[in-house]
A = this chain, B = another copy of it.
Amino acid sequence: MSEQISGGYLLFLGHCRSKLDTKTASGILQWRPDRCIGQFRLSEDAVDLGLPDIDPVEAVTSGARTMVVGVAPVGGAIQPEWVQPIIAALDAGMDVAAGMHSKLSDNPDIAAAALTNGRQLFDVRHASGKQPIATGEKRLGRRLLTVGTDCASGKKYTALAVHAEMARRGLEASFRATGQTGILISGEGVAIDAVVSDFAAGAAESLSPNNHPDHWDIIEGQGSLFHLAYAGVSLSLLHGSQPDAIIVCHEPGRQHIDDYPSYLLPDIMACIDANLTAARLTNPDVRCVGIALDTSRLNDTERNAVIRKMSAETGLLVFDPVATGASELVDLLVRIWPGSDYPNR
């Protein structure tokens, strides 16, 4: 069903000089530094993540098992100058993973080299394998899903931060990735927006299977119920996840849906209500445990003001997982669901 990518990673950066275009690589390094063995750059002026510069052969010697294409150029295509380095990685004995629109396996030279070397290609933006139809059956274990007022509002970051805080406390929790960067960070997951729509809720069910009753799945959300293009993806993920808890992610000050100026952002309480109403179909006990804000464009005074204001207006825990951390949120989860302090086995 889901991808299973072997670590450690060699992060391939090509010639890329834009930090924005290497955010896949920097995301992996931020959340899984233990996985990142080195970087592989094709020129000295390419973005430097501060990892050792090594080539595929050195990487394998140092324990790398997968080269991850950590660059996402506009258009998402494999660049011609990447083909030889990718083949070199396969020849050195590594798998190769990428999260681009164009597939590694669609390049005949890359596909041939993978076959010759008996290595795997992971195109994590494309769903692999057959997904089941959703059953709607209640699964054991607890689930938290991040939802949002829009795309790119901090859903992945919030889920990773909550999971990291739980892991730090030794709680039993898994991060469940639903997008390409998340999958590369965790080494597994399902690119939910790449699943055929009939099977999307079923894929979401299989992503967080039956578990220990006190285990938490912290599920990365996608899109928004208020996104004219992706709401169906969000709804399938919401129904299949059967979340016990949702966190609504939001960037204060954003006026309209990203890239769609004529679609205004929903009111945050309307967004919470819509998500809870829809989520109750598969889990009547769902509750909203907090609002995660991306306040990176605000100064400290503005941040504190917006958190205080939104807290007062909603009566909910409001936090910024970057600036203020996820500690209070995890305190709250443990308080609401006492078994959550079940220690990691």
- Where the two chains meet, the residues of A that have a C-beta atom closer than 8 Å to any C-beta of B are 127, 133-136, 192-198, 200-202, 226, 228-237, 239, 260, 262-263, 274, 277-278, 281-282
Contacts and interface: CB of A to CB of B under 8 A. Distances in A.
A239 B233 contact: no
B236 A197 contact: yes
Given A136-B228, A136-B263, A228-B281, A233 B198 contact: yes
A136 B229 contact: yes
A180 to B, nearest CB: 12
Copies of this chain, tallied across the complex: 2
Contact of A232 (B194, B197, B277): B197
21 contacts: A134-B229, A136-B263, A192-B197, A193-B196, A193-B197, A194-B196, A194-B197, A195-B196, A197-B232, A201-B228, A201-B230, A201-B231, A228-B239, A228-B282, A229-B239, A231-B236, A231-B278, A232-B233, A232-B239, A235-B235, A274-B277
Nearest to A257: B136
Q: In this complex, which of A198, A226, A234, A236 has the most chain B Cβ atoms within 10 angstroms of its Cβ?
A: A198
A239 B226 CA distance: 10
A277 B273 CA distance: 12
A136 B233 CA distance: 16
A260 B194 contact: no
A151 B77 CA distance: 39
A281 to B, nearest CB: 6
Contact of A197 (B133, B195, B278): B195
B231 A235 contact: yes
Given A193-B198, A196-B197, A197-B236, A231 B262 contact: no
B197 A233 contact: yes
Contacts of A230: 198, 201
A260 B136 contact: yes
Q: Which 6 residue pairs of A and B lie closest in terms of their CB atoms, listed nearest first?
A: A232-B236, A134-B229, A193-B198, A136-B228, A232-B232, A197-B197
A137 to B, nearest CB: 8
A207 B310 CA distance: 41
A127 B135 CA distance: 24
A246 to B, nearest CB: 16
A201 B226 contact: no
Contact of A226 (B135, B228, B281): B281
Contacts of A237: 232
A338 to B, nearest CB: 27
Nearest to A136: B228
B226 A231 contact: no
